[in-house]
Amino acid sequence: MKKPAKTCLVLHKKSCTRPEVKTAVKHVQQSGIDVDVYIPWTRKDLRRFVQRAIKNDAQRIVAGGGDGTLNAVVNAIIRGDTRPEASLGILPLGTANDFAKGAGIDAKDLASALELACTGSPTKIDVGRMNDQYFINVASAGFGAEVTATTPQDMKRLLGGIAYSIMGFVKVFQLEPYEGRLIRPDGAVKEGSMLIMAVGNGRFAGGGYEVAPQASLTDGLLDIAVVSGLLSEDLNRIVRELRDPMNPRNEYLLYRQLSAFTIETGKLLHVNLDGEPIKGTHFEFRCIPEVLSVVLGGAAARQ
């Protein structure tokens, strides 16, 4: 029986037949890299495989898929906020690949991306936690989460990130702001309305939009950006404020960097956690510093 490889590629089932994916796998194997490939059919199946691979001394788990697959792998690797023994590599195969974009990984060159994921030196990064689930990139809520949840899969596949923009403009005039409050660890409370919210460990979401422009993977903080009012009121002003999030004169944008906080809403809130849809009214956020070792690309690895 073949000894288990130290590197395991967890491949999303919808990507396994893509010719460029097969070419990338063949490239690394011909380069002498010993990698086991596994194609789970359910999130539960994925968790079992990852945990079994780590138990069998796998040193690196490569997530081959979109942000949702990446989220599932992260939640399988991290257990109890303790630093896992295995590091994480990324083969970006999704529609948006928002975390890979922020991490400097080229989604257009899959052979190079997979080689980097298997052989690159990892960097210790922070991971966010919302209630009992982890996220590596962004938790978006309200308008953005509904857009992601309701954009048809065929449109995502054909148009990529543009699909989110199209569905966004269709929905923007139909949405009502959420009423809620932000509770800091010291007990300070800020109440108000919210149309869009993003909690960023990474910077990009929704197909390449920089929703948390000040976010860093290694600062021990989560960036929370809340847009109040209606987007139809002054879209240009909102865009300008997003480009200058720390400006104290901002009218529509609330931007804070916190290690922990709680969000409560009066009605059910849509939250998109690294591509995974969740609903609720009470969300406890916390940054777990340097808990995961991840292979980053280019300048991101040097930050």
Which residues are designated catalytic?
Answer: 276
CB 105 within 8 A of CB 78: no
The H or E element containing residue 63 is strand 60-65
User: For residue 260, what are its two tokens?
Assistant: 């922990």
Q: What whole-number distance in Å separates Cα of residue 88 and Cα of residue 6?
A: 12
How far does Cα 217 stand from its chain's mean position?
A: 12
User: For residue 39, what are its two tokens?
Assistant: 């194609």
Q: What whole-number distance in Å separates Cα of residue 160 and Cα of residue 157?
A: 6
Q: How far apart are the first and last CA of the chain?
A: 42
Look at the chain and count its residues.
Answer: 303
CB 68 within 8 A of CB 274: yes
Counting Cβ atoms within 10 Å, is residue 36 exposed (0-12), middle (13-18) or buried (19+)?
Answer: middle
Counting Cβ atoms within 10 Å, is residue 93 exposed (0-12), middle (13-18) or buried (19+)?
Answer: buried
CB 270 within 8 A of CB 142: yes
Residues 6+ apart with CB under 8 A from 55: none
